[in-house]
Structure 1
Amino acid sequence: MTTIDQRDALLRLGERRLFMRRWTPSNPEAGRLAPILLFHDSLGCVELWRSFPEKLAAATGRCVVAYDRLGFGRSDSHPGKLGTDFVADEAESVVPQLCDALGIGDFVACGHSVGGGMAVATAAQWPGRCRALVTIAAQAFVEDRTLEGIRVAQRDLQGPGNLARLARYHGDKARWVIDAWIETWLSPAFANWTLDQPLAGVRCPVLAIHGELDEYGSLRHPRRIAEGRGEALILPGIGHVPHREAEGALVKAIAGFLASFSPRGRRSRQGDEGGPTG
């Protein structure tokens, strides 16, 4: 039976610290398979992935790494407001430092909601290292349905009880987390944002997973992400958070996708780079 070793760490990236958690399966293949990097959503953090990363590690036999973006969870506070280029900036600035700190060479990029956009940007930014891309309920462009869902959430989040619930995970950064999400997406300066440019640079296999009832995006999003690159998988009766609503089906889909080819990768850049990297 596969056991999972879970370890936490605070990584210093420049002047600030990022909290990360790593789940490592006991099987010997885990050290030779490209690990899965998880990118959380606009209100998320490591803890809000709940049991999904551990189950994903067990099902795939791969190490899974999740981290709190700057300003979220147990990571340090963000120094200001999010720029409209925050999705691309995560791929360009944070991911290489994270991989260097953890000794990761090749990887699988997997993200939920806006984290899916970051996974796309990461796959495009590092085509030689990203062995596969998985998006979960990701947005590929700014859609009226997305904005309406955010406005509904904005009203719901006005109550102190909702802020207190978020503070359980983000501490005194909870208000910043809410404002960063709502103000950025509803800003006129963000209205023309799309993933079209990074999608054109993706060179690895793609699986775009989306809930049929997703309140933050229509089925146009997974179809655009997967078009000409891979598969769009629609989960019937599921909304915006498949890792809570249909965890078993989500884990099975990702594990099956990764098992369908051989995306081995350099587990460490200090390792043997001459082996297969399918």
Structure 2
Amino acid sequence: MCPPETMTMTMSALAADRPTTVPVQYQGRVLDIEYRLLPAARPDADLLVFLHEGLGSAALWKGWPEDLCAASGCRGLVFSRYGYGASTPRPASERWPVHFMHDQARHALPAIFEALGLAGERPVFFGHSDGGSIALLYAAMYPERVKAIAVAAPHVFVEDVTIASIEQARETYLKTDLKDKLGRYHRDPDSAFWGWNDIWLNPEFRAWNIEAFLPDIRCPILAIQGENDQYGSLEQIHRIQRQAPQTRLCVLKDCRHSPHVDQPQATIETVAGFIEECAALTTPMTHKH
């Protein structure tokens, strides 16, 4: 999710530059997916894949992915999912199914990697909110394809506090200028907002739960959450750790649902340190003779 207060009236990358897109075969269609690739000093550096939240896009990250890649020495992939940013919009008549995050992990991500020539990569993921849930699902479905995952404010089950905040976001969208603000980051703000809002407020979605997938994750996990997160309780990340004991938890003070917005430097330092430790675990030792 993207709390309305994180929206600013500054010009976004979506409006300032012509977005780069790649055609992706997905569910019998060809979709244009907006993306940007971030280089690193070392061409063989780890690839860090950024998965945005329920109202996010490549542009809404602003310059934070570049900052994290610089701090961690990683290459980066930032993209907008179908229906978001400058990617192909979702038709108004199309509704996300209850299993839409499973579909993103199982089918959409591999299709995007294939289209960009990255299918052979074993990336690190940084996923925020819904993007964090997708990262967890991908790591569970394809454990051999993931080096590590960091998730910020992820969802593994549906809580009353989440639904209440999403209902409030609906009122904000209908009664304020939130649509205009979202329009700075999305080709079709209605596509982004109603796709997200309608599925989370669908009564069938209350039973959504991905905890059963978590024990299948083999890679290291970093789970970050703000102690003032208005879209979920700390029980979200505690349940991840219970199902996947290799999970390290980080709770940030003075932080709501978007750690990279509310505590950008602390989040960078925590994630960069986590990536460095994961790299050390997989680096062969040099033996002296």
Q: Which amino acid aligns with 1:135?
A: V
Matched, 1:248 2:248: no
Deviation at 1:264, TM superposition (A): 8.9
Q: Which amino acid aligns with 1:109?
A: F
Write the distance in 2 (CA, Å) between the matches of 1:81 and 1:229: 35
Q: Which amino acid aligns with 2:197?
A: I
Contact in 2 for aligned 1:92/1:125 (Cα 8 Å): yes
Give the 4+ runs in structure 1 shifted more than 6 A: none
The equivalent of 1:199 in structure 2 is: 214
Task: Mark the runs of 5 or more structure 2 residues left unpaired by the alignment.
Answer: 1-17, 285-289
RMSD: 1.8
Task: Mark the runs of 5 or more structure 1 residues left unpaired by the alignment.
Answer: 1-6, 266-274
The equivalent of 2:162 in structure 1 is: 146
TM-score, length of structure 1 as denominator length: 0.88
Matched, 1:10 2:21: yes
> After superposition, what is the alpha-carbon deviation per residue over 1:144-165, rounded to whole angstroms, capped at 9, x for unaligned?
1111111111111112511111
TM-score, length of structure 2 as denominator length: 0.85
The equivalent of 1:186 in structure 2 is: 201
The equivalent of 2:101 in structure 1 is: 87
User: Aligned match of 1:124 in 122, 140, 145?
Assistant: 140
Deviation at 1:253, TM superposition (A): 0.3
User: Aligned match of 1:215 in 221, 226, 230?
Assistant: 230
Shift of the 47–53 alpha-carbon distance from structure 1 to 2, 3 Å rule, reads: same
User: Aligned match of 2:186 in 162, 166, 170?
Assistant: 170
Deviation at 1:169, TM superposition (A): 1.3
> After superposition, what is the alpha-carbon deviation per residue over 1:4-61, rounded to whole angstroms, capped at 9, x for unaligned?
xxx9631111211100011112x22xx2233011111111001111121000110010
Q: Which amino acid aligns with 1:238?
A: C
Deviation at 1:219, TM superposition (A): 0.5
The equivalent of 1:61 in structure 2 is: 73
The equivalent of 2:175 in structure 1 is: 159
What SS does structure 2 have at the residue aligned with 1:92? helix
More divergent stretch after superposition (69-78 vs 152-161): 152-161
The count of aligned residue pairs is 257
Write the distance in 1 (CA, Å) between the matches of 2:24 and 2:87: 11
Write the distance in 1 (CA, Å) between the matches of 2:190 and 2:116: 30
Q: Which amino acid aligns with 1:262?
A: A
The equivalent of 2:8 in structure 1 is: none
Deviation at 1:178, TM superposition (A): 1.5
Contact in 2 for aligned 1:37/1:64 (Cα 8 Å): yes
Deviation at 1:78, TM superposition (A): 2.2
